[in-house]
Copies of this chain bind each other. A is one copy, B any other.
Amino acid sequence: MSEAQSSADDGRASDDADPRGASRPVGLALRLIERVAEWQPIGASDLARRLALPKATVHRLLLALETFGWLERDGGSRPLWSVSMRPIAVGGRAIERKSGLRMAALSVMDALRHQTGESIHLGLVDGENIVLIERIDGVNSVNIFLPVGTSWDLSWSSSGKSVLAHLPEAELASYLQTPRYRRKSETDIIPATELRQELAGIRDRGFAISVGVPPAASSSIGAAIFDKRGRPFAGLSITGASDRLREEQLLALAPQITAAARRISIGMSMD
């Protein structure tokens, strides 16, 4: 009888349906924040419809999130909602104090950008995604600046693939449970065997490359960063316009990216 939890008909919940400790309003509120961030600026009714939730419930939560400073609305007669700066401020402070990663990586990244002239990206694994947490811009002209916080499936970036390649088999299998799509045409599924084969090569060589990635055509070479226990948890990559960084040039950067990633891993292990 302890946790009967007769979720009868509401068991929808796109991503999380895990009532440990529960707290439904909290879950709703957080989902709201995420969806508003995705669809902003958006009106209350529209939001309620898309989430399949009662208008009154959504409205009440929006009001609450506004007074807590996480959401805000423009001053139109039909208010549209957006997220405030709060998540970024929270996330920024989090990065700042997080492990030693950022600190350990910055000097290495700076050196790397001066050696190569290209932009250096540092990503942190978040579940099945890799999130950009720091970017240092190269001297060469750059056609696109990815905002910090950009999140991609692990299979979509060179650094993500490097992480995948060094994941324990059990976790890789669980990752491959869900079909993965190609970056370019988001309807093509990548066959698991094809991905496994590529990952094997990456594991041997110690780096991954990725060519002509949308939205701007950019190419990159990446390597994984490991914690003290030898677990890959972050990735480093050199990224540039794909007309300058062709496969040939990317491969020439292999020694540098692997050395840099290794140096960061070592720097992290010294705490």
Q: A residues touching B (Cβ–Cβ < 8 Å)?
A: 12-23, 25-27, 29-30, 33-34, 37-38, 40, 59-70, 82-98, 102, 106, 110, 113-114, 124, 126-127, 129, 131-134, 136-137, 139, 141-142, 145, 147-151
Nearest-neighbour CB distance to chain B for A74, whole angstroms, equals 9
Q: Is B67 a contact partner of A16 (Cβ separation < 8 A)?
A: yes
Known contacts A64-B19, A68-B16; A95 and B29 CB within 8 A of each other: no
Q: Is B69 a contact partner of A149 (Cβ separation < 8 A)?
A: no
- Provide the bound-state CA to CA distance between A113 and B114, in Å: 15
Q: Which residue of B lies closest to A151 (CB)?
A: B89
Q: Which residue of B lies closest to A124 (CB)?
A: B85
- Provide the bound-state CA to CA distance between A61 and B260, in Å: 39
Q: Is B34 a contact partner of A90 (Cβ separation < 8 A)?
A: yes
- Taking a contact as CB atoms closer than 8 A, the residue among B20, B40, B106, B148 that contacts A67 in the complex is B20
Interface centre among A62, A66, A85 (most CB of B within 10 A): A85
Q: Which residue of B lies closest to A40 (CB)?
A: B97
Known contacts A85-B124, A136-B145; A62 and B23 CB within 8 A of each other: no
Q: Is B93 a contact partner of A126 (Cβ separation < 8 A)?
A: no
Known contacts A83-B90, A88-B94; A68 and B21 CB within 8 A of each other: no
- Provide the bound-state CA to CA distance between A96 and B38, in Å: 9
Q: Is A21 a contact partner of B61 (Cβ separation < 8 A)?
A: yes
Q: Is A23 a contact partner of B69 (Cβ separation < 8 A)?
A: no
- Taking a contact as CB atoms closer than 8 A, the residue among B63, B106, B142, B150 that contacts A110 in the complex is B142
Nearest-neighbour CB distance to chain B for A35, whole angstroms, equals 10
Q: Is A134 a contact partner of B139 (Cβ separation < 8 A)?
A: no
Q: Is B26 a contact partner of A96 (Cβ separation < 8 A)?
A: no
- Taking a contact as CB atoms closer than 8 A, the residue among B26, B69, B126, B147 that contacts A84 in the complex is B126
- Taking a contact as CB atoms closer than 8 A, the residue among B23, B40, B124, B129 that contacts A64 in the complex is B23
Known contacts A23-B60, A26-B29; A13 and B92 CB within 8 A of each other: no
Nearest-neighbour CB distance to chain B for A241, whole angstroms, equals 13
The list of the 8 closest CB pairs from A to B, nearest first, reads A92-B149, A88-B91, A21-B63, A85-B126, A13-B69, A21-B60, A87-B91, A23-B64
Q: Which residues of B contact A63 (CB under 8 A)?
A: 19-21
- Taking a contact as CB atoms closer than 8 A, the residue among B14, B33, B106, B113 that contacts A90 in the complex is B33
- Taking a contact as CB atoms closer than 8 A, the residue among B15, B90, B141, B150 that contacts A37 in the complex is B90
Q: Which residue of B lies closest to A63 (CB)?
A: B21
